[in-house]
Structure 1
Amino acid sequence: MFMFYRGVCSPFFSGTASMALTVIRLLVPGAAAALKAGNLVQKASFHTSSVRGLEYGWLAYLLGERTTPRLKKYSKIISVDGNLASGKGALAQKLADKLGMLYMPEADTFYMDKMTKEKEPLSVDFNGMCSLEKFYTNPKAADGNSYRLQLWMYNVRVLQYSDAIEHLLTTGQGVILERSPFSDMVFLDAMFKQGYIRQECVEHYNEIKHNSICEFLPPHLVIYLDLPAEEVQKKLRDSGKSYLQNVPLQYLKNIDDSYKKSFLPEIRETSELLIYDATQDVDAEKVAEDIEYLKFDKGLWLEQNDVTYHNMRMLVQDKQGVSNLTNIPKFLPEITVGGLDFDQKYYAYKSLPGKKYAPGYNEDVGDKNIWLK
């Protein structure tokens, strides 16, 4: 598997001159610093500059930095789940505003660019080499786009989830997400049932998920919006997006089935679960009231203390380490490219403005006083 980070290149060859295509760039600065909440939240930190920053570490812990004093009533991770076009985003944003939590929109294929504040999205060559539009218009494309998309989306969901936990532990402010890596498998199931991906891809995905998801605690609460597949299809057609006009009804039903038969029964064992009928607008006020009555008396979050929070915080702030969790060297035609092809993409990336050196050291984008840094 080959992991490519912004400014860092760590090759791992599997088999001959081929490397797996997971293209992930280091998030700089860390998510806790980059994310801006609706409410101002005091964050424990050391002195930082635009170029150099001292991350939280063992020294901070030894000097008395602790997480539990910052955790309040709504210091929670909440995931809003549901089928496509079920109203997740609208509810999540309203609920975050009402509860004073941070809202993180659903990660897309260009999540890296948003976190690193690119002025314009970079080429798909640097964002998973996959296309959501192509998936919906040609889900059985011979170039393996469907599985590259699925694997890439799992990668960015894992990174976003690490960003959410980092924000929670660093600031004490809770986070509301649209979906999480724990529910990402519903799309894998639906793709496989439709014949969009091969059995070998399913096995590869499950191996990666098994090796990575165990490092994270599931959301404190999952809110599921239940919308019939027929209504989902109608909403997609009404969206005006050309590539969503012909999404197969059976694919949407497969997503719904996977949620109800696999994800929801499993997540109920570890997290609080609220389910709402999304055929009508779900009232955020009512949802907030229901959350008030939840006991949050199950799951691994109850077993955490300042020592385990310290270890968790050390993990989630290390984006390269988080990305390595999804890195398994295995040849699959869908995600493997030759070394020469990768070299071309790597040097094409390094030739972009501001990418040759570390942030703050690139004269071509106006960085000043480089020799003093």
Structure 2
Amino acid sequence: MLLRNRLQQKGKYLINQFMGMKEMFGEKYPYKPPFENVSFWERDFPFVQKMPGLSENSKIITVEGNMCSGKTKFAKELANCFDLKLFNPITDRDIYYDNKVDLRVFDPVLTDRAKIYTLDKFYSNEKRFADKTLVCRLQLNFFKKKFYQYIEALKHLIYTGQGVVLVNSAIYDYAYTETLYKNGYITKNFYDYMKRLYKFTIPEFFYPHLIVNLDIPSKDLFKNIKNGKRDREKNSKFLTENFLNEIRNGCQIRNEKYKKYCELIEVDVSKPLVDVELDEIFYDISKMQLDPPEYPKWNDIKFYHWQYLSVHLVEELIISYDENRLDDLFDQIKAVACPEYLVYGEEVAQWT
């Protein structure tokens, strides 16, 4: 059952009205003691504290925008200002490392389709359309990792009361998938599969309280990349101005969709932000009303996920966000219509 169908449950609501977030300027916010390692089996619910009280800084903030636009640096400053936990952006290292084991060590005994495909290979491959199968698998793995990271961020907020900042979160991942499809890097079947997957999984989220979109014209961003020090993007033949513009347009579409559910601010980063400008942005954020109104209008859907957050709903969240249950969520939508994404038994049999 989707979370939005469980929100009208009775219980003691946990949301209080605050005037805004409190700037800490590098100091620690007086959060209540965390209890991250407590067992949350159903049998334990009557005997454990369900969650600490939420404070004015108990917020989920995502920093979105085009690639190489300075999202991580901005997020670090934001997290430091309000004493929030920073979740760094997902990289391909998060995909090919499993329990500190580099899965690429198995590549010599795997078939080409079964080998680990990384962003380095994508950027350096001169055969533009040769690796659609591998690009499809890479994009799906990125979305899964982003999805699990968002869930971990929400669980951290529930368990500790500390707010979180995410960089390049799952809710804007569709912009990248659409760009890959329009530029011919993934197949139509896989694109349709990902659209169904987004439609089925994203509504399971509690949408963030605030989205910060870092916007920069594609022409300026392309020039910055070519003049920058990141050789992987700098020397890539795939990273064109049109490619960056497609991502930017996709982010703008996401902005229009999600500003109905949460607060949204757009920051022009065509020129590097100086400390004074950052202070002004953070001051504006501190004065924003990021809590649901006490008496919302019947058609007001902003913060609607957070309007009825109760102890009873938190118990359901803890159960629903178990890792095994999340895996089942992805398994309910099979990629049967895009066999190019799958690795077949005959290929596995070549090295077993």
TM-score, normalization by structure 1: 0.72
* Among candidates 209, 212, 217, match of residue 223 of structure 1: 212
Q: Which residue of 2 aligns with 1:55?
A: 39
Q: CA deviation at 1:277?
A: 0.6
Task: Give the whole-Å Cα distance in 2 for the aligned partners of 1:113 and 1:239.
Answer: 24
Aligned residue for 1:80, secondary structure, equals: strand
Contact 1:80 1:178 in 2 (8 A): yes
In the TM superposition, residue 61 of structure 1 has moved relative to its aligned partner by 2.2
Structure 1 portions without partners, runs of 5+: 1-37, 47-53, 348-373
Secondary structure of the structure 2 residue equivalent to 1:326: helix
**CA-to-aligned-CA distance 1:284-306 (integer Å, 9 cap, x gap):** 32222111121123221122111
C-alpha displacement at 1:55, in angstroms? 2.4
Amino acid at match of 2:285: I
The two structures have a TM-score, normalised by structure 2, of 0.77
Alignment RMSD, CA only?
2.6
Q: Deviations over 1:300-355 (max 9, x none)?
A: 11221111122112222x1122233222323323321112544788x8xxxxxxxx
Q: Kindly indicate whether residue 79 of structure 2 is the aligned counterpart of residue 96 of structure 1.
A: yes
- Asked if 2 retains the 8 angstrom alpha-carbon contact of 1:103 and 1:177, the reply is yes
Please give the alpha-carbon distance, in whole angstroms, between the structure 2 residues aligned to 1:125 and 1:264.
41
**TM-fit CA distance, 1:114:** 6.7
Q: Secondary structure at the match of 1:330?
A: coil
**Cα deviations by residue, 1:143-162 (Å, 9 ceiling, x for unpaired):** 52222121111111001111
Q: 2:161 aligns with which of 172, 180, 185?
A: 172
1:133 match: 120
Q: Is the 8 A contact 1:140 1:146 kept in 2?
A: no
Q: Provide closer, same or farther for how the CA distance between residues 128 and 310 of structure 1 changes in structure 2, counting only shifts above 3 A.
A: farther
- Partner SS, residue 78 of structure 1: strand
2:320 is aligned to 315
Aligned counterpart, 1:336: 342
Q: After TM superposition, give the deviation of residue 125 of structure 1 in Å.
A: 6.5
Alpha-carbon deviations, 1:171-193, whole Å to 9, x = none? 11111010211100000111111
Q: 1:125 to 1:257 in 2, by over 3 A?
A: farther
The answer on 1:304 being equivalent to 2:309 is yes
Provide Cα deviations, 1:217-255, integer angstroms capped at 9, x if missing partner.
111110000111112212222133145423111010001
Q: How many residues align?
A: 297
Counterparts in 2 of 1:125 and 1:295: CA distance versus 1, 3 Å = farther
User: Is contact 1:74–1:99 with CA below 8 Å preserved after alignment?
Assistant: yes
Residue in 1 aligned with 2:104? Answer: 123
Deviation of the 1:115 alpha carbon: 8.2
Tell me how far apart the structure 1 counterparts of residues 133 and 198 of structure 2 sit (CA, whole Å): 19
Identity fraction in percent: 24
Matched, 1:287 2:287: no
> Which of these residues, 236, 253, 256, is aligned with residue 248 of structure 2?
256
Hey, what's the Cα distance between the residues in 2 that align with 1:307 and 1:125? Answer: 46
Q: How does 1:7-22 map to 2 (within 5 A)?
A: none
Give the C-alpha shift of residue 165 in structure 1. Answer: 0.9
Question: Is there any run of 5+ residues in structure 2 with no aligned partner, and where?
Answer: 1-27, 108-113, 293-301
Give the superposition deviation at 1:128. Answer: 8.6
Residue identity in the other structure for 1:257: N
Provide the rounded CA distance (Å) in 2 between the counterparts of 1:306 and 1:191: 41
Distance apart, 1:74 and its partner CA = 1.1
Give the drift of 1:169.
0.8
CA distance in 1, matches of 2:59, 2:187: 37
CA offsets, 1:69-89, max 9 Å, x none?
431111111100010111100
Question: Relative to 1, partners in 2 of residues 1:336 and 1:136: Cα closer, same or farther, differing over 3 Å?
Answer: same
Q: Which has the higher contact order (CA 8 A, sep 6+)?
A: 2
Counterpart for residue 12 of structure 1: none
Alignment partner of 2:158: what SS?
Answer: helix
Q: Could you give the per-residue CA deviations for residues 115-142 of structure 1, whole angstroms, max 9, x where no partner exists?
A: 84x1x64328799932212222334224
The one-letter code of the counterpart of 2:197 is I
Partner of 1:74: 57
Q: Is the CA contact 1:182–1:213 (under 8 Å) kept in the aligned structure 2?
A: yes
